[in-house]
């Protein structure tokens, strides 16, 4: 089969690799019909190379059609249409029973001290082959895949794999009070969807911050009050406070993560780490602070006293310096974590109707064949051609 594989920093290729096969009686094989390119994939493209091996298959946002089922699979049949959550979770352990699928005790990567395994996402999360491929082996066939109806196009459902539950959890964790205000830092795919969900759930004041004009225009078209970080520069915090009664927003969602703009020293550290041999670089990243923290520091600065910060952008450093005095003094509540995909599906699925309140049908800015995935990664990283969300068609 064809699959998108990692070969080095900023070097991904479509290779011919062996087809996946059923190895456990509860496995299913899915023929992938759509698969997303996620902002988290860009961390693999640029920063997290020390935790990848050449030839690793990337991608964690697939959906498709069941092609083969293991002997113990009873919940699915060949021909069923499914979305595959990015968490590899068993559905039956104590963590899954609490709706914490991202902490699944069956698939925790204990050798790395990590939570549940993830499709297509480094040794830190199990080195499981990903879904930017023609076929995907999916374990836990009775409990993991999300069966969706035939008929509507893939765009209606594919975001159940990551974008929708990740954004829903971020808004849930933000806990904006009635009549309250929310700032979303970063209007890439997740930040954009966070803003849409917040508006849908009745948050009256939603302010989106980004520096890409096309992303700001896209959010503004859906009723989000937008601020251009590039234009405002160091005045961004004062501008946010001026729009939220002088005290700051009730909640902030950090949808940026480890590669935030405005952190030149950390950016240099990331680049220097990338020049080290993988073994040395991996050890350094596990013990040092290599994240660009500009977005998180801005969130801490602007959120009101007693407010909440919801972190949905991916961070990877182990010793990042945080302003603990400010966090403590402002009595800030801080929530974060990988999304527990299956926890939120019952809330989201009823919204994926022809009315399309979240705008999923036209959420993707680009539909490209899998063969163009390397160019898509470069375009997405460099924020060219208005790229916000790219769907690949194997």
Give the integer Cα–Cα distance in Å for 285 and 142: 37
How many other CB atoms are found less than 10 A from the CB of residue 53?
13
Query: Pairing relation of β-strands 135-138 and 146-147?
Result: unpaired
* pLDDT for res 314: 80
Whether 128 shows a pLDDT value over 50: the answer reads: yes
Phi/psi for 182 (5° steps) reads -135, 135
| CB-CB contact of 334 with 251 (8 Å) | no
H helical segments located in 162-319: 163-174, 189-200, 213-220, 229-232, 236-242, 264-274, 278-287, 294-302
Q: What is the largest CA-CA distance in the chain?
A: 62
291 dihedral zone (left: phi>0; alpha: psi -120 to 50; beta): beta
Ramachandran region of residue 37, left (φ > 0), alpha (ψ -120 to 50) or beta? beta
Q: Where in the chain are the domains?
A: 2-161+340-393, 164-336
Q: pLDDT digit string (tens) for 208-231?
A: 999 999 999 999 999 999 999 999
Half-sphere exposure of 327 (CA within 13 A, CB side): 11
What per-residue confidence (pLDDT) applies to 164? 98
Res 271: pLDDT: 46
Based on the number of CB atoms within 10 Å of its own CB, is 94 exposed (0-12), middle (13-18) or buried (19 or more)? exposed
Residue 114 pLDDT class (50, 70, 90 cuts): very high
% of the chain beyond a pLDDT of 90: 83
The pLDDT score that the predictor gives to residue 286 is 47
The CA distances from residue 332 to 70, 204, 242, 311, in Å, are 48, 21, 20, 13
Q: What is the pLDDT, as a whole number, of residue 182?
A: 98
The three-state (H, E, C) secondary structure of 41-69, written as one string: HHHHHHCCHHHCCCCCECCCCEEEEEEEE
> Would you state the pLDDT for residue 141?
98
Q: Residue 46's pLDDT is what?
A: 81
* Chain segment 133-167, per-residue pLDDT in tens: 999 999 999 999 999 999 999 999 999 999 999 99
How far does CA 109 lie from the centroid of its chain?
19
Cα–Cα–Cα angle for 45, 228, 366, rounded to 5 degrees: 45
**Which residues contact residue 32 at a Cβ distance below 8 angstroms, ignoring those fewer than 6 apart?**
62, 63, 64, 131, 133, 134, 135, 136, 394
What CATH architecture does domain 2-161+340-393 belong to?
Alpha-Beta Complex (3.90)
Sole residue written with tokens 């023609």: 134
Q: What is the pLDDT of residue 197?
A: 98
In the chain, the N- to C-terminal Cα span, in Å, equals 10
pLDDT at 294: 87
C-alpha distances in Å from residue 156, one per residue of 20, 21, 184, 350:
27, 28, 24, 12
Interstrand relation of 28-37 and 135-138 (parallel, antiparallel or unpaired): antiparallel
Choose among 60, 57, 27, 62: nearest CA to 137. 27
pLDDT at residue number 39: 87
Rounded distance, CA 267 to CA 240, Å? 25
Determine the pLDDT at residue 134.
98
pLDDT confidence of residue 343: 98
- What would the two tokens of residue 271 be? 């680049």
- Domain over 164-336 is classified CATH 3.40.640.10: no
Supply the mean pLDDT for the chain: 91
* More confident position, 382 or 277: 382
Q: Which of 257, 268, 271 is nearest to 315 (CA)?
A: 257
Each residue of 350-366: pLDDT tens digit? 999 999 999 999 999 99
User: Taking 70 as the threshold, does the pLDDT of residue 85 lie above it?
Assistant: yes
- Cα separation, 167 vs 41, in Å, equals 16
Provide φ and ψ at 59, rounded to 5°. 105, 135
pLDDT at 265: 39
* Sign of the CA dihedral with 263 first, then 265, 268, and 269 last: negative
User: What distance in Å separates the CA atoms of residue 151 and residue 325, rounded to the nearest whole number?
Assistant: 54
């Amino acid at each position: 089969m064809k699959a998108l594989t990692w070969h080095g920093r900023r070097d991904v290729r479509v290779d011919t690799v062996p087809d996946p096969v059923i190895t456990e009686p509860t496995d299913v094989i899915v023929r992938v019909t759509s698969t997303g390119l996620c902002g988290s994939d860009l961390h693999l493209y640029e920063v997290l190379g020390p935790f990848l091996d050449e030839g690793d298959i990337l991608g964690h946002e697939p959906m498709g059609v069941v092609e083969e089922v293991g002997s113990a699979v009873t919940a699915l049949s060949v021909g069923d249409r499914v979305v595959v959550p990015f968490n590899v979770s068993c559905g039956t352990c104590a963590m899954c029973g609490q709706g914490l699928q991202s902490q699944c005790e069956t698939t925790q990567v204990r050798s790395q001290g990590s939570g549940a395994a993830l499709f297509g996402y480094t040794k830190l999360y199990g080195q499981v082959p990903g879904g930017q491929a023609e076929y995907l082996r999916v374990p836990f066939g009775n409990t993991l895949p999300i069966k969706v109806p035939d008929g509507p196009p893939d765009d209606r459902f594919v975001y159940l794999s990551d974008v929708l539950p990740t954004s829903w959890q971020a808004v849930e964790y933000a806990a904006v009070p009635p009549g309250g205000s929310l700032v979303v830092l970063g209007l890439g795919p997740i930040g954009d969807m966070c803003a849409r969900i917040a508006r849908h759930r009745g948050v009256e004041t939603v302010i989106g911050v980004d520096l890409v004009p096309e992303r700001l225009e896209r959010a503004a078209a859906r009723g989000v009050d937008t601020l251009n970080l590039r234009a405002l520069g160091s005045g961004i915090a004062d501008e946010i406070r001026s729009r939220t009664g002088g005290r700051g927003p009730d909640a902030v969602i950090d949808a940026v993560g480890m590669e935030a703009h405005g952190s030149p020293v950390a950016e240099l550290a990331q680049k220097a780490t990338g020049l080290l041999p993988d073994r040395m670089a991996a050890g350094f990243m596990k013990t040092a602070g290599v994240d660009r923290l500009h977005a998180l520091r801005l969130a801490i600065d602007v959120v009101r006293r007693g407010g909440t910060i919801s972190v949905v952008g991916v961070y990877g450093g182990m010793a990042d310096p945080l302003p603990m005095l400010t966090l403590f003094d402002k009595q800030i509540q801080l929530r974060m974590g990988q999304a527990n995909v299956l926890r939120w599906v019952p809330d989201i699925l009823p919204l994926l109707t022809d009315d399309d309140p979240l705008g999923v049908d036209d959420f993707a800015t680009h539909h490209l064949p899998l063969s163009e995935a390397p160019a898509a990664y470069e375009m997405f990283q460099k924020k060219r051609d208005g790229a916000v969300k790219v769907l690949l068609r194997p």
